[in-house]
Amino acid sequence: MYTYQSSRSLFERAQQSIPGGVNSPVRAFKGVGGTPVFIKKAQGAYLFDADGQRFTDYIASWGPMILGHAYEPVINAIREKVADSTSFGAPTELEIEMAELIKSMCPNVDLIRMVSSGTEACMSALRVARGYTGKNKFIKFEGCYHGHADPFLVKAGSGVATFNIQTVPGVTAGAANDTLTCAYNDLEAVHQLVAENKGEVAAIIVEPVAGNMGCVLPEDGFLRGLRKICDEENMVLIFDEVMTGFRLALGGAQEKFGVDADLVTYGKVIGAGMPVGAFGGRKEIMRVVAPLGCVYQAGTLSGNPIAMIAGYTLLSELKNNPFLLTELDAKTGYLKDMLDKVLKESGISYQLNHFGSMLSIFFNDKPVTDFASAASSNIELFKKFFHAMLKRGFYLPPSAFESWFLNNALTTEDLDATAKAVRESLEEIG
């Protein structure tokens, strides 16, 4: 059973120097209560806390650890590269190789620019869409999270939803006025927003499978419908693949759903967990980016050699061994079926949303298809469930509004043990 010994004292100490004791809000555990677990290291499918206690990891650093932690080829590549210095602020051949590799997996990406985070990628993609179309407004969906740049912090998911922050102080009305929102999966509402703002909407940005309100799937025709609206109205379709890119398929959600976006954003996955992001897409749009065009975007650490070699190694592994993603999906399907059985037997109302290697349990008797339905779930029960799992050594997302991410280091024994822990946890809280 988990004890919080070192984490408690580290959390107290952290709060003296870091806002809320953490460098990203969700990990403070305010969404579930209690003391955050301070991690010392991770290997394969497991996290180890400051006391050396082991947890089976179901967040995979929020996506990128697709093949597990400290994946040997990635670690070896970083070790070798770091001896050549950690940053140059000048171009390298490796950046070209990285761009070429991504293009080989995502055929509709003609040009791609590296940045240092998913936030930066989304913020830059939006600027590009605005610069390209000459329009200011854009549509985002309630409960979707595209990083913390001002225009996206309107009805956002992830920590904003977890802490129920209605309006983010510091985001000016000027920055937020051009953000139009409607419910995920509601194509009719998108049509209405476009009609009400005729000729003013530059882009639609969407998580093609949402992971920031828990895992919420696009309904049949939703993504295709967005594509059609963008084509008809000369708007740029942006897929935020920070969570889904290279995880759902080599070509991400674009490949999985057969829908091409105009611009795509990626995050930590292309650095194998190092601080990286990227945005890319059709060349006629990407040509507006400086220095080709005047849409300015820059970063000294963009294309950082250590981040590039880590990401290049991970993505090459995935590309050269396509069975890895198939295997991961199969493992997730195996776990999902066991969870379904265990949840059904518990008699507790639930929804199990699942796509590829992402899943979420919502304690809800109605389907969860958007933020309103996700938020109508029994959050208090989720909190109890989270802690019941944690004390059994299973680290789930510490928020009812985040997806689980599986990694391929998980063994059948791990998955069986997870199902057993879920059964015990449900008995405990039911």
Asked if 69 interacts with ligand HOZ (CB under 6 A), we say: no
- Reference 236, options 197, 266, 210, 264; nearest CA is 264
312 is catalytic: no
Q: With CB under 6 A as the contact rule, which of the stretches 23-31, 123-131, 279-287, 288-296 interacts with ligand HOZ?
A: 23-31
Calculate the CA dihedral of residues 414, 419, 425, 430 and round it to 10 degrees.
170
- Among the listed residues 49, 57, 178, 240, the single catalytic one is 240
Asked if 270 interacts with ligand HOZ (CB under 6 A), we say: no
Name the strand (E) or helix (H) holding 190. Answer: helix 187-196
C-beta of 47 vs 201, nearer to ligand HOZ: 47
Q: What is the closest distance, in whole angstroms, from the C-beta atom of residue 61 to ligand HOZ in the complex?
A: 8
* Tokens 């419910």 -> residue: 183
C-beta of 207 vs 260, nearer to ligand HOZ: 207
Strands (E), 59-169: 111-115, 137-141
268 is catalytic: yes
Using CA atoms, how far apart are residues 57 and 61, in angstroms rounded to an integer?
A: 9
C-beta of 69 vs 81, nearer to ligand HOZ: 69
Residue ranges in 127-186 that form contacts with ligand HOZ under rule CB under 6 A: 145, 158-159
Q: What is the closest distance, in whole angstroms, from the C-beta atom of residue 429 to ligand HOZ in the complex?
A: 24
Token reading at 307: 């981040």
- Among the listed residues 135, 268, 383, 384, the single catalytic one is 268
Using CA atoms, how far apart are residues 407 and 93, in angstroms rounded to an integer?
A: 30
C-beta of 69 vs 135, nearer to ligand HOZ: 69
Q: What is the closest distance, in whole angstroms, from the C-beta atom of residue 26 to ligand HOZ in the complex?
A: 4
Q: Shortest Cβ contact with ligand HOZ: which residue?
A: 24
Token reading at 158: 């992830």
Using CA atoms, how far apart are residues 381 and 33, in angstroms rounded to an integer?
A: 12
Q: What string marks each residue from 36 to 65 as x (binds ligand HOZ by CB under 6 A) or -?
A: --------------------------x---
Q: How far is CA 407 from the centre of its chain?
A: 14
Q: What is the closest distance, in whole angstroms, from the C-beta atom of residue 157 to ligand HOZ in the complex?
A: 7
Binding residues for ligand HOZ, how many (CB under 6 A)?
A: 9
- Among the listed residues 145, 184, 266, 395, the single catalytic one is 145
Using CA atoms, how far apart are residues 101 and 223, in angstroms rounded to an integer?
A: 25
Q: With CB under 6 A as the contact rule, which of the stretches 21-29, 67-75, 76-84, 358-366 interacts with ligand HOZ?
A: 21-29
Paired residues of 111 in beta bridges: 281
Q: With CB under 6 A as the contact rule, which of the stretches 24-32, 37-45, 68-76, 257-265 interacts with ligand HOZ?
A: 24-32
- Reference 346, options 299, 307, 388; nearest CA is 388
Q: What is the closest distance, in whole angstroms, from the C-beta atom of residue 133 to ligand HOZ in the complex?
A: 28
334 is catalytic: no
Asked if 268 interacts with ligand HOZ (CB under 6 A), we say: no
Q: 157: burial class by Cβ within 10 Å (0-12, 13-18, 19+)?
A: buried
Among positions 350, 402, 404, 425, the unique one binding ligand HOZ when judged by CB under 6 A? 402
C-beta of 27 vs 392, nearer to ligand HOZ: 27
- The most distant pair of C-alpha atoms in the chain lies apart, rounded to whole Å, by 61
Cβ neighbours of 283 (radius 10 Å): 11
Asked if 26 interacts with ligand HOZ (CB under 6 A), we say: yes
Token reading at 226: 């967005």
Asked if 212 interacts with ligand HOZ (CB under 6 A), we say: yes
Paired residues of 137 in beta bridges: 201
Among positions 5, 9, 15, 24, the unique one binding ligand HOZ when judged by CB under 6 A? 24
C-beta of 27 vs 227, nearer to ligand HOZ: 27
Q: How far is CA 124 from CA 111, 297, 332, in A?
A: 14, 7, 33
Q: How far is CA 176 from CA 129, 149, 159, 207, in A?
A: 17, 10, 18, 19
User: Which residues contribute to the site for ligand HOZ (CB under 6 A)?
Assistant: 24, 26-27, 62, 145, 158-159, 212, 402
Active site residues: 145, 240, 268
